[in-house]
């Protein structure tokens, strides 16, 4: 029996890979034994709609997945189905491409600002709208720095403990959900704070 890889792509957000995957008509042919899950939450901005699809290169596995889905839920609501169809219109795709480019710019602005502070994420963000950054170079713990950034520089970040337990006190999450100018200003504020002592 062949082995299969489940490749959930639901977490990939606008800046990066979702539309590239969709553009590849031969994705399943190339994927071999990959089962790819996609959703509308991130790229299409339909968080909470609980709507997505499955790309499966094998009819037998697709049928088993269909049976499982039938037992988990009846069907998405009519309005969600119509919204999903509208998401593929050329007008909507143009808006989403502009959003993807804006998120890519925001990411670069944040990463440049963090690099100037000698803070870099252990992995370059590829499918999220935030950077999870090791703050060891600053000394202290994430909660303390999150409070200090907010109270002194008026910059909100989230301590790692909100996202897990492993070394959580070493990490801060910096979101780039606002425009690039505000991100640059936030980084400048943090730079002033950190250079002032």
Residues 106-159 have pLDDT tens digits of: 999 999 999 999 998 988 888 778 999 999 999 999 999 999 999 999 999 999
Q: Give, for 105, the enclosing helix (H) or strand (E).
A: helix 90-116
| 3-state SS, residue 122 | coil
- pLDDT at residue 197 tops 90: no
Find, among 49, 35, 186, 162, the residue nearest to 110 by Cα. 186
The predicted structure's pLDDT at residue 109? 97
Q: Cα–Cα distances in Å, from 57 out to 22, 64, 70?
A: 15, 13, 20
Residue 165 has pLDDT above 90, yes or no: no
146, 182 in Cβ contact below 8 A? no
State the pLDDT at residue 114: 96
3-state secondary structure 37-101: EEECCCCCCCCCCCCEEEECCCHHHHHHHHHHHHHHCCCCCHHHHHHHHHHCCHHHHHHHHHHHH
Return the residue matching tokens 């990463």.
111
Q: pTM for the full model?
A: 0.72
DSSP class per residue in 153-187: I----EEGGGT-STTGGGEEEEE--S-HHHHHHHH
Q: How would you label 20-49 residue by residue, b for 16+ Cβ within 10 Å and e otherwise?
A: ebeeeeeeeeebeeebbbbbbbbbbebeeb
Residue 158 corresponds to which tokens in the numbers above? 């989230």
Look at residue 29 in the predicted model and tell me its pLDDT. 56
Confidence of residue 16 (pLDDT cuts 50, 70, 90): very low
pLDDT of residue 4: 56
* pLDDT at position 65: 83
Q: 23: part of which helix (H) or strand (E)?
A: helix 18-23
DSSP element (H, E) containing 113: helix 90-116
User: pLDDT tens across 30-80, in order?
Assistant: 556 667 777 777 777 777 777 887 777 778 888 888 888 887 777 778 888
Structural domains of the chain in order of their starting residue, each with its CATH number: 5-88 (no CATH), 99-196 (3.90.1150.10)
pLDDT at 54: 78
């Amino acid at each position: 029996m062949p082995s299969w890889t489940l490749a959930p792509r639901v977490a990939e957000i606008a800046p990066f890979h979702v539309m590239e995957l969709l553009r590849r008509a031969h994705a399943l042919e190339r994927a071999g034994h990959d089962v790819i899950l996609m959703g509308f939450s991130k790229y299409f901005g339909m968080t909470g709609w609980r709507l997505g699809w499955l790309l499966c290169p094998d009819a037998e596995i697709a049928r088993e997945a269909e049976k499982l889905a039938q037992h988990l839920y009846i069907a998405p609501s009519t309005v969600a189905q119509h919204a999903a169809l509208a998401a593929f219109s050329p007008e909507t795709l143009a808006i989403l491409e502009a959003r993807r480019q804006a998120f890519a710019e925001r990411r670069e602005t944040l990463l440049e600002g963090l690099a100037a502070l000698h803070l870099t994420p252990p992995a370059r963000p590829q499918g999220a709208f935030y950077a999870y950054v090791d703050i060891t170079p600053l000394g202290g713990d994430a909660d303390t720095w999150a409070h200090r950034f907010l109270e002194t520089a008026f910059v909100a970040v989230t301590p790692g403990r909100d996202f897990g337990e492993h070394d959580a006190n070493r990490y801060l999450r910096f979101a780039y959900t606002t425009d690039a100018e505000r991100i640059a200003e936030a980084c400048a504020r943090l730079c002033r704070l950190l250079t002032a002592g």
